[in-house]
Structure 1
Amino acid sequence: MNLIITIISLLVAVEFLYITYLETFATSSTNTAKTFNLSEDNLQDEKVQTLLKNQGIYNGLIAVGIIYALFFTHDHRNSLLAIMIYIILVALYGSFSSGNKSIFFKQGTLAVIVAILLLLN
């Protein structure tokens, strides 16, 4: 079970690193526009780019937290559970505040699976 938790947790980290890439480094790309349902014109706005880059740093630090919890803590369960609950809550907020329910499933599904596995373990 620990191996499954580690693998799925790493998938969550990779997902958040990809989001970081889109928001921080590929801010005005076509993929970023599609992913966040924004026009490419919106992405050219300097204020929007600043907001996305700021958001990207948060997402990158979530990934770092997951990796740190997995490989640099003695008992990663509590740290991972806290991070996964945070991700689930943020995914719920994003889903409801944007009116786009698919956000929860895209951003929160793997975190829900990890949280359940941690609680059952």
Structure 2
Amino acid sequence: MNTIITILSILVAIEFFYIMYLETFATTSSNTGRVFNMTSDELQNKNVQTLFKNQGIYNGLIAVAILYTLFFTPNHNNNLLAIMVYIILVGLYGSFSSGDKLIVLKQAGLAIIVAILLLIA
């Protein structure tokens, strides 16, 4: 069970590093527009780029926290569960605030699975 939790947690971290990449380094790319359902003109807006970059750093730090917790903290299950619950809550907020109910599954789907596995482990 611990191996599955570790693998899925690493996948959550990779997902958040990818989101960080889109928001921080590829703010005007077509992939960023597709993922966030935004036009090229919206992505060119300097205010949007600033907001994206700030949000990207947040997502990158979430990924770092997951990896740090996995590999450098003893008895990491409680800390890992707290991070996954945080991701789930942010995904729920995103779903309700945007009107797109699938965001919770897109952003927090793997985190939900990890949290469930942590609770039954």
Bin of the TM-score, shorter chain as denominator length: over 0.9
- Answering whether residue 62 of structure 2 is matched by residue 39 of structure 1, we say no
Which residue pairs with 1:56 in the alignment? Answer: 56
Equivalent residue runs for 1:1-121 within 5 Å? 1-121=1-121
Q: State the AA in 1 paired with 2:57.
A: I
Q: 2: CA distance between counterparts of 1:41 and 1:102? A: 25
What's the Cα RMSD here? 0.4
Q: State the AA in 1 paired with 2:45.
A: D
Shift of 1:102: 1.4
Q: State the AA in 1 paired with 2:13.
A: A
Q: 1: CA distance between counterparts of 2:11 and 2:103? A: 17
Q: State the AA in 1 paired with 2:50.
A: T
Q: 2: CA distance between counterparts of 1:49 and 1:28? A: 8
TM-score norm. by structure 1 comes to 0.99
Q: SS state of the match for residue 57, structure 1?
A: helix
Q: 2: CA distance between counterparts of 1:16 and 1:33? A: 17
Q: 1: CA distance between counterparts of 2:48 and 2:16? A: 19
**What's the CA shift string for 1:10-69, capped at 9, x where partnerless?**
000000000000000000000000000111100000000000000000000000000000
Q: Which runs of 5+ in 2 are unaligned?
A: none
Q: Which runs of 4+ in 1 moved over 2 A?
A: none
Q: Which runs of 5+ in 1 are unaligned?
A: none
